[in-house]
Amino acid sequence: MNTLPSWLSFQATERHIDVAIRHKRLGIWQEKQWGELYREVLRLVHLLGEKGFTQGDTLFLLTNPRPEALLVSIAAHWLGGVSAPLDPHCDDVKILGLLRELQPVFVFAEGQMQIDLLLKINTKQRLVVYADARGLSRYDHEILRNYSDLKSNTLDGLNAPSSAKPSHDAFVFYRLDENDQVEVQKLTHSEMLSHGRQLINQETLTNKEEALAARNFAASGHMRYLLAPWLLAGFKLNFPENSDTRDIDRRELGPTLVAGTSQTYQRLENLVKSRLPLVGTARRTFVNWSLTTDINSSPVRKAIAYWLVIRPLRDVMGFSRTRVPLLVGEALPEDSLKFFASIGIQVRDWSDKVTEQNILAASPNQNSRHAALTETARVTE
């Protein structure tokens, strides 16, 4: 049992009624149990199979982080395929360049904006599943399917065995460099699960964790860093509603595990510092005194600092219960690390365990530029 679909099956059996995912929509937290996720993935497997998705095919993701993207990726893996998240934060020119280069056939798109990008290029798409139906009521393209329509599919006969193998690629990550050449990174099922076990052992993660990934953390980040630990440990994975509500959502949840970029942590640092008393005032002097408390300070000083300053500052960020703050990507400045340490948040780096490899674009006379690209790119640990 060393594939992502097999671990979903395991959790659906062992924790059938436990909450696996929460996603805030219209101000209300929506919950899904492990058993529900399993059935939802089977419906997606059926849909992809109906449209001809088979072993070795690639499902492209053009979306911000959301539960549907995670589940449709596992469905692609179930059929022996690969998931390829594209960074939605890239500008439209780069996204269009990638789409023209890769010529996607199967796509999961977040909503109207992403579908409009897809329709600008001349591809032979067989299926585009979209999550957000707003603005798409008059789109009559036969390739488009609303994710919510899956709920009407029956489960009869959908319990097909997974075709995924540990050595199969689970994810492939594409991006254009400054010279518009395609960079490719691949991760197999066994590599992802190995990295996930390492994180679980390193941070003693259990099924009791409440995990939250930052909203501006691209879908590729969720797949690369959180998917395997979530499936292995069986904890709750929470998705904020949007960028405007992310801080409120974090405070409501009080997650024990937070994964974010340097930008995320620096934004939270600035948020806290903007609320501090003015420099030179008695209150600011007291805050500074509290933040310089260390392990050698007296128990009384520690208690005063924690309850009057440190705990309220952690509450502002939604870090009241956080014990595993993970940083991915670019390093935090030393001053920022010291600030978080002063309020008891030891930000830890969770860097890639694989290297990236630049490759040249495939020749224009290839039948499938995407196939040529993926054939020539291989990432080793």
Residues 205-257 have pLDDT tens digits of 999 999 987 666 666 777 888 999 999 999 999 988 877 788 888 999 999 99
- pLDDT at residue 220 in the model: 74
Give me the mean pLDDT over the 356-365 stretch. Answer: 33
Give me the mean pLDDT over the 263-291 stretch. Answer: 95
Give me the mean pLDDT over the 184-195 stretch. Answer: 94
Write the DSSP string, 54-111. Answer: -TT-EEEEESSS-HHHHHHHHHHHHTT-EEEEE-TTS-HHHHHHHHHHH--SEEEE-S
- pLDDT at residue 232 in the model: 97
pLDDT band at 194 (very low <50, low <70, confident <90, very high): very high
Q: Which of 91, 128, 126 is nearest to 107 (CA)?
A: 128
Q: Where are the beta strands (DSSP E) in 264-330?
A: 324-327
CATH placement of domain 4-21+33-204+220-234+353-376: 3.40.50.12780
Q: CA distances (Å), 118 to each of 98, 111, 211, in order?
A: 11, 11, 32
- pLDDT at residue 286 in the model: 97
| Secondary structure percentages of the chain, helix, strand, coil, to 5 | 40, 20, 40
257 - beta bridge partners? 211, 324
Whether 154 shows a pLDDT value over 70: the answer reads no
Q: Which of 154-163, 253-262, 339-348 has the lowest mean pLDDT?
A: 154-163
Q: What element of type H or E holds 173?
A: strand 169-176
pLDDT band at 54 (very low <50, low <70, confident <90, very high): very high
Q: Residue ranges per domain, the chain?
A: 4-21+33-204+220-234+353-376, 261-349
Check residue 128 and report its DSSP letter: E
Whether 270 shows a pLDDT value over 60: the answer reads yes
- pLDDT at residue 367 in the model: 33
Average pLDDT, the chain: 86
Give me the mean pLDDT over the 166-181 stretch. Answer: 88
- pLDDT at residue 321 in the model: 94
Is the model more confident about 328 or about 151? Answer: 328
